[in-house]
Amino acid sequence: MDAITVIRAKRDRAELTDEQIDWILAAYTDGRVAEEQMAALAMAILLNGMNRREIAHWTQAMIASGERMDFSALTRPTVDKHSTGGVGDKITLPLAPLVAACGAAVPQLSGRGLGHTGGTLDKLESIPGWRARLSNAEMLAVLADAGAVVCAAGDGLAPADRKLYALRDVTGTVESIPLIASSIMSKKIAEGTSALVLDVKCGSGAFMKDFADARELAETMVALGTDHGVATTALITAMDNPLGRTAGNALEVRESVEVLSGGGPDDVRELTLALAREMLAAAGLDGADPADKLADGSALDSWKRMIRAQGGDPDAELPVAKQTHVVTAERAGVLVGMDSFKVGVAAWRLGAGRARKEDAVQAGAGVQWHAVVGDTVKAGQPLFTLHTDTPETFDTALESLAGACEFADEGTEFTRPPLVLDRVA
Ligand code: URA
């Protein structure tokens, strides 16, 4: 077997055989296939696709490239959630401890932000002392103690995906349904969760801009999970407008704690509860009402236990940016749209995200918005506050925000679009 034959096959729209898939992923992981050869194959897959059999086998080969975790010693049922990534998407932060407070064990292996979407680990690292890197034994101990753990995936989990994702990121080959589905699901299946709920984002701030693509991605991932014995469902949720009222690391932690304390923005609370109900049903725990656990303080207690178990101080002051800049509304009207992609890029440019994997992020940087879709705004009223330690980034953030808000005349009737667009099981 050789790499050129496999690349040519996909270039010429042939189906890859199981043997070709096993060989190329094993040879790439141990360095026998060069980065440029894998880049060519990834581009051929992006352009010509893979069928369900190829995707299933590709996923299986990525799982087999590393270790599998085992949570069978836990007494609680395990259930995880994965979001395909959005702007202001801090849902994991309130969701994991909330579902733990309802009786499940939530092993949540998360990633860092790249480009305009934030990363859960970057957000949690704004909490003084909190550690993302845990050994497998530490991860199990936190899970047994706090009921939820959010940490970085260890190097042993799906190493083929780790290498391939970094390569796709710099070769314009991220936006491929077969590659996204196999990348996400290989990690989730290797992680060893019994049940999984996928939050597939759809809209301007998501990988999938239109509904048909989001639905295809959701169906592909649900089928992969189900075939591997993981009880998997997906919600397709709106990502045209950013979630909540903030995008940025410490800013989003603050907002998540508000939700855990029984308040917070309506959309963050609504989506947290919708996903919590899906997760509890998938784990066979539909008896508990997660809304009660937000109201009675038990979800907040779980959060504090989870943060402390990973070295963090949940009561410490969160970092704030050194400089702020307020953007006001140029006209009066009803806010009918806020482009989440533009808001995400602004937060990233202010220092909340990174352009390259090795860049550092600023804990206090980001964007806060003072109006949400459906609000009536007066001219001159504050619309955004920009936060950063590097005020020279204000100009580029402002450029990105230009045209982000769409207004209709005062008095225009406006109904907020639904957050949950569809469910795939
Ligand atoms: N997240 C992943 O883990 N992989 C992808 O390919 C895209 C998003």
Q: If you measure from the C-alpha of residue 350 to the centroid of ligand 1, how many angstroms do you get, rounded to a whole number?
A: 24
- Catalytic positions are 82, 161, 168, 183, 187
Secondary element (H or E) of residue 60: helix 52-64
- What residue ranges define each of the domains in the chain, with the CATH number in brackets? 3-49 (no CATH), 79-309 (3.40.1030.10), 323-408 (3.90.1170.30)
pLDDT of residue 249: 97
* Arithmetic mean of pLDDT over the chain: 95
Q: Is 300 exposed, middle or buried (0-12, 13-18, 19+ CB in 10 A)?
A: buried
Using CA positions, which residue lies closest to atom 2 of ligand 1? 184
Q: If you measure from the C-alpha of residue 332 to the centroid of ligand 1, how many angstroms do you get, rounded to a whole number?
A: 40
Q: Which residues line ligand 1 (CB under 6 A)?
A: 165, 174, 179-180, 183-184
Mutation test residue for ligand 1: of 180, 213, 221, the one with most atoms within 8 Å of CB:
180
**Could you tell me which residue, 257 or 116, shows the higher pLDDT?**
257
Are 281 and 71 in contact by the 8 Å Cβ rule? The answer is: no
> Does residue 115 register a pLDDT over 80?
no
The ipTM estimated for the assembled molecules is 0.96
Ramachandran angles phi, psi of 36, nearest 5°: -70, -30
Using CA positions, which residue lies closest to atom 3 of ligand 1? 184
Mutation test residue for ligand 1: of 82, 108, 184, the one with most atoms within 8 Å of CB:
184
Q: If you measure from the C-alpha of residue 364 to the centroid of ligand 1, how many angstroms do you get, rounded to a whole number?
A: 26
Using CA positions, which residue lies closest to atom 1 of ligand 1? 184
> Does residue 244 register a pLDDT over 70?
yes
Per-residue pLDDT tens digits for 176-195: 999 999 999 999 999 999 99
Ramachandran angles phi, psi of 231, nearest 5°: -70, 105
Picking from 252, 245, 9, the residue whose alpha carbon sits closest to that of residue 113 is 252
pLDDT tier, 114 (very low <50, low <70, confident <90, very high otherwise):
low
Mutation test residue for ligand 1: of 45, 80, 83, 84, the one with most atoms within 8 Å of CB:
84
Q: If you measure from the C-alpha of residue 424 to the centroid of ligand 1, how many angstroms do you get, rounded to a whole number?
A: 19
Using CA positions, which residue lies closest to atom 5 of ligand 1? 180
Q: If you measure from the C-alpha of residue 183 to the centroid of ligand 1, how many angstroms do you get, rounded to a whole number?
A: 5
Picking from 36, 39, 40, 7, the residue whose alpha carbon sits closest to that of residue 21 is 7
Q: Does the predicted TM-score (pTM) go above 0.90?
A: yes
